[in-house]
Amino acid sequence: MNNKEDVDLVRSYIDKGIEIRHVKDLLTNSFSLSDKAFLFTIGRIKEKGTREHSVLISNDKSYLNHYDDLFENLWKKGIDIHTRIKDIEEGYNFNIETIPSPEESLKFYNEILQTVKNELLILLASSSAFFRIEKNIGYKILEELANYKIKVKILFPTKIDLKYTIYQIKTKYPTIDFRILPSSLESFIGLTIIDKQRVLITEVKDDTKINYIDAIGSTIYIEGKSTAISYGTIFNSLWKQAELYDEIEKAYEKIQIHDKMQRDFIDIAAHELRTPIHPILGFTDLLKNKITDKEQLGFIDIINRNTKRLKKLSEDILEVSKIENSLLNLNKENFKIKELISQIIRDYKKEAETKNIEFELIDEDENDLFVCADREKISQIISNITSNSIKFVPGEKDRARGKISILSQKMAKDYDNDDTHIDSNVIVITIKDNGVGIDKDVLPILFTKFASKSFQGTGLGLYICKSIVEAHGGKIWAKNNEDGKSATFSFSLPLDN
């Protein structure tokens, strides 16, 4: 039953108490069946166009059993007649077919494209499917549809490294609207939605094949408005996701360009800062040797001190730039860690004495401990932490004498400090002071860039220290001591066996 004319006839049978079900595409001739006899009608066309009918009647059990099974199967597959009548009266139609042959699928696909009236939505399974269409049939047919004011949208997932090739193909078809999804959304089916009325679901049998016939499997064709709308909703959701992905990607590209410009500017500025610093330091040292006036020497000391601060700032900026561009190089060598610490203490001794601070070097291992590391950069770490300790230890006006203890020790057993696991084959350098401690707001972000509440420094030093230690395969951590008035910094380095 396919039209309203059939409805009246069917209702007349229903009124007489006859049960009826609708079967689409009944692939058999008419037959009647009872528990005793079987009647089969055969029709044929004669030469002059007249139709001739023949009737076969049999009570053979084999016929009765065969057609009884056939009827039961057709009855089970049939649609409730009242539902079918309602669909016809409301203009609703639902049909589903399976096309197992790839050749037939391609033929059917080309035919159905000729029936598009308003909108064509295509979800490709992968970027391979995108190139496969271009290689086999191209997008010219779809572009012609778009030229006739038909909305054509194509959505597919792809990888970043294919985007330039895809862009070249897309530019050939300006009237088609393409969108790209993240490659993680690749699937094994392709989806085509036509005019929110029909749906084609194509199985991808082998996505590596470039030939269309070799790549696809069976195709399911669904004709039904509600089903097509449901698939259309999914498509539109993915389309919006692709638009968002595209916007995020464009924003990310802008950020990258901005970051590169910023890094380039910082590099240039840091290099330009270094250019005048060295002659300023050289000339101030020269002037100190020639001037005897105490007031003038005081001025030169101020110039010298601030120039050194400027020198340190430019060096830190360049170091951070190297770290963030993965250009941090380590020149490793074997050296005694105790000798390096002793040298750093000598370098800072005079500065520490001006604040009434004493150093204490603790070496718990009788043997000289060798490390395989970049000596200059390890010196930079210890110097930076030591300088910070001097900065935050109370000055000479305070009653208590300042103290900075530096301890180096080989870990003979596993060591656990603030969830930091240290293996036994390392040396741990610990720098402890009796200063004001680490601000509680800064402590959680201590080793990140610009982590400082002090008016002195940029907050880059400990970030650089962390990067250097981790580049050596070590770890760095810090804590406030139990008295709440002092801090301890520790870092580990692999020992040279």
Domain count, the chain: 4
Domain boundary among 305, 324, 343: 324
Domain boundary among 73, 89, 105: 89
- Together in a domain, 162 and 107: yes
- Together in a domain, 193 and 265: no
Residue 167, exposed/middle/buried by CB under 10 A (0-12, 13-18, 19+)?
A: exposed
Is 153 inside a domain boundary?
Answer: yes
pLDDT for 270 equals 67
Phi, psi torsion values for 85, nearest 5 degrees: -60, -45
Query: What CATH number has the domain bearing residue 427?
Result: 3.30.565.10
- Together in a domain, 345 and 361: yes
Domain boundary among 201, 223, 245: 223
pLDDT for 484 equals 67
Strand order in the sheet with 31-33: 31-33, 38-45, 51-58
Highest-confidence range of 92-96, 229-233, 280-284, 457-461, by mean pLDDT? 229-233
Is 245 inside a domain boundary?
Answer: no
Q: Which range marks the domain in which residue 262 is found?
A: 254-324
Asked whether 434 and 385 are in contact (CB, 8 A), the reply is no
Q: What does the DSSP assignment read for 425-478?
A: SEEEEEEEE-SS---TTTGGGTTSTT---SSSS-S-HHHHHHHHHHHTT--EEE
Is 230 inside a domain boundary?
Answer: no
Q: Please state, for a pLDDT cut of 90, what percent of the chain lies above it.
A: 17
- Together in a domain, 296 and 390: no
Q: Report the chain's mean pLDDT, rounded to a whole number.
A: 82
Q: State whether residue 267 is helix, strand or coil.
A: helix
Is 379 inside a domain boundary?
Answer: yes
Nearest-angstrom CA–CA distance, 157 and 127: 6
List the beta bridge partners of residue 24. Answer: none
104-154 confidence digits (pLDDT tens): 888 888 888 888 999 999 999 888 888 888 887 778 888 888 888 899 999
Encode 450-486: b = buried (16+ Cβ within 10 Å), e = exposed: ebbeeeebbbbbbbbbbbbbeebebbbbbebeeeeeb
pLDDT for 279 equals 85
- Together in a domain, 360 and 457: yes
Query: What CATH number has the domain bearing residue 147?
Result: 3.30.870.10
Rg value, the chain, Cα: 42
Give the residue-averaged pLDDT of 301-307: 85
Give the residue-averaged pLDDT of 298-314: 83
- Together in a domain, 369 and 307: no
Nearest-angstrom CA–CA distance, 150 and 295: 87
pLDDT for 413 equals 45
More confident residue, 455 or 357: 357
332-341 confidence digits (pLDDT tens): 999 988 899 9
Per-residue pLDDT band at 402 (split at 50, 70, 90): confident
Is 0.75 topped by the overall pTM? no
